[in-house]
Amino acid sequence: MQDTAAAAPSAILDYVTSCTLPTPWAQFTLHAFVEHGTGKEHLAMTLGDLAGAPPLARIHSECLTGDVMFSQRCDCGAQLEGALKRIADEGRGILLYLRQEGRGIGLVNKIRAYRLQEAGADTVEANLQLGFHADARNYELVLPMLQRFGVEAVRLMTNNPRKIAALEKLGIRVAERVPLLVNRNAFNNGYLDTKQAKLGHMMTPLAEPALDGEL
């Protein structure tokens, strides 16, 4: 059964239900959405009152290997943890967890792409060799998800200029970009350099105090 929704129904996904989610850093509320057509289950984690000034926000793309299995090939797990810690520090914010694994190509294809990377391709070349775009993600779900919480503008934790452009195209104002530079290591150094060189990621040093393990 669907809970009573505060926002108008969306044509592309349903808000279903929520529960409290205690984490090491704060007690969040976890919200479940189901996308029409694909049936994919997308999540939001919220903390505090989101009305008023643009809240701190993270739009996180699923990375099972990084978020769950502690993979050091990428920076995803550390970014997820860093984003939740920052929201907890402010006592207010929202994280959307979008099920677009492997920049939208899925887990099995990401593993194929990793295998090609072991043979010398970089992260972009591997996607292209498999017949995919370098980045196959779509952010259209973000608008109805944020609308569910009355959020029209955000302070976005990201290094990805294409994510900012995608949100602004949807009509979501990015009031500020908050860099999220975490866990550069011997295994993901080349991957992060390729993201900067070929995907335009902004790998600038932070102008604010670093989190544990942050660059």
Ligand X SMILES: Nc1nc2c(ncn2[C@@H]2O[C@H](COP(=O)(O)OP(=O)(O)OP(=O)(O)O)[C@@H](O)[C@H]2O)c(=O)[nH]1
Extract the annotated binding site: 58-63, 74, 76, 79, 101-103, 123, 158, 163
Q: Does 74 bind ligand X (CB under 6 A)?
A: yes
Looking at residues 161 to 180 of the shown chain, list those that interact with ligand X (rule: CB under 6 A). 163, 180
Could you say which of ligand X, Zn ion, none residue 160 binds, taking C-beta under 5 to 8 angstroms by partner kind? ligand X
Q: Does 103 bind ligand X (CB under 6 A)?
A: yes
Closest C-alpha among 46, 78, 53 to residue 176? 53
Dihedral, CA of residue 148, residue 150, residue 151 and residue 152, to nearest 10: 110
Given 10, 46, 61, 183, the residue binding ligand X (CB under 6 A): 61
Q: What does the alpha-carbon distance between residue 143 and residue 150 come to, in Å, rounded to a whole number? A: 10
Closest C-alpha among 180, 163, 167, 187 to residue 70? 187
Instruction: Single out the catalytic residue among 137, 148, 162, 177.
Output: 137
Q: Does 123 bind ligand X (CB under 6 A)?
A: yes
Q: Is 135 a catalytic residue?
A: yes
Q: What does the alpha-carbon distance between residue 203 and residue 75 come to, in Å, rounded to a whole number? A: 12
Given 15, 60, 62, 66, the residue binding Zn ion (CB under 5 A): 66
Size of the site for ligand X (CB under 6 A): 22
76 versus 98: smaller Cβ distance to Zn ion: 76
Sheet with 56-61, side-by-side order of all strands: 13-22, 27-35, 41-47, 93-98, 56-61, 153-157, 173-178
Q: Does 102 bind Zn ion (CB under 5 A)?
A: no
Could you say which of ligand X, Zn ion, none residue 62 binds, taking C-beta under 5 to 8 angstroms by partner kind? ligand X
Given 50, 105, 121, 172, the residue binding ligand X (CB under 6 A): 105
Q: Does 76 bind ligand X (CB under 6 A)?
A: yes
Closest C-alpha among 39, 134, 45 to residue 97? 45
